[in-house]
Structure 1
Amino acid sequence: MKLSEKDILYEDNHLLILYKTGGLLTIPEGNITDSLLGRGKKYLKEKKQTSGNVFLYPPHRLDKPVSGIVVFAKTSKALSRLNEQIRDGVWQKEYLAHVDTVPSKVKGRLVHYLLQHNHRAYVYDAHKSGTKEAVLEYEVVGPHLIRIRLITGRYHQIRVQLSAIGSPIRGDAKYGSKTKKEKIGLEHVKLTLLHPVSKMPLTVSSQKNIHDIEL
């Protein structure tokens, strides 16, 4: 499949920032070749009218069932600088989650310790060997909607942390939802980073409104 015009959230000579739909891989895995990366490369090849290879790579990924903003670097220098920003905690990420049940507290800060094993995250209240600290802040903004500010970026972090407080994401049966869907109710809706060349702040928002996340 091809990218549509509305999938392109931002583009210049150094960056291509795209919208990923839930159910689509960020990069190819195993025998599944359709991915946002593949569609992005196809778009650039057609734009440049070339059959040769093009450089395009994401410094981060979204889980397959999650939708929203994904950043791709068009050059190795841009990729290196974006990776450095992620390591230094420069990126500011906001998500919207449609949950089965909202938390009892309207606002909160969640701190857990996560262990990744066999394609799953396990959550603990205290540090154990092999765990990594996971931190997020949340605010209830609707009957089943939570806005999330991600402080750390751990494997399946938002999904497992919300499940741990009794608010599993709608459609995410892996982490306790009553329903199972290919696209779960979690979307990366806003990202602020520093442009890898100009070093100026760049904020990108997905084109979805707050109600579109509801399944």
Structure 2
Amino acid sequence: MFMDLHGRSPKVRFGLSRSKLYIIFAMFGDGLRPTSQTKQRTHIIGIAAGKDRDFAENWISEFEQEYSVRPTLRTVGVNNIQASISSLDIWNDIHRYATFGTRSWGLRKEALRRLISDKVSRTDVGYGLRGFFDADGSVKYQAKRSSRQVTATSVNWEGLQQISTLLGKIGIRHSVYEDSIAIFGRRNLLEYQKTIGFGIARKNEALNNMISTFRVQ
């Protein structure tokens, strides 16, 4: 069935490459289906990108680079762009490192230990985190209050703690609240811009515009 649809079998490579990290972290925020809902022969991997076609296309590009097969891009209803593919081999590979679901997404312990070790570079970790912030991140600038933040929200407290741990590895100071993470302060936002950033054009533009409002002492 997979060969009929895609004309080739996926290439599954062991390990956490930059592309695979982006794929996984984006699914933490906007994954189509939680692990608990997977049924036999319907092993769907994908994201719901809302109105951000460039996010969906970025995810597809990383996916194709990693697995040598291309997920399908489609629009479901209004402002609901989705990218998805069904593959048991890829599903098993991704779930070797992580689980997914609104309240239960997160890296498996061995994967988290590897990412915080010296075996994985800060650059690669930052690239993975970009997937999460592309999915769940936002830029908040309130001129009257002189408030400038990059935030990400989730009801998954343990998942946010993992994101916090990885931000700590990169060296980005931040605050963790009950249902969100916030990065603020010129130095931290510049470091975020340098090591993580956004792959979504509108978010990246908002970040650049916000940082440009800081007064250089």
TM-score, normalised via structure 2 length: 0.28
Task: Identify, as 1 or 2, the structure richer in helix.
Answer: 2
* Structure-1-length-normalised TM-score: 0.28
Greater fraction strand: 1
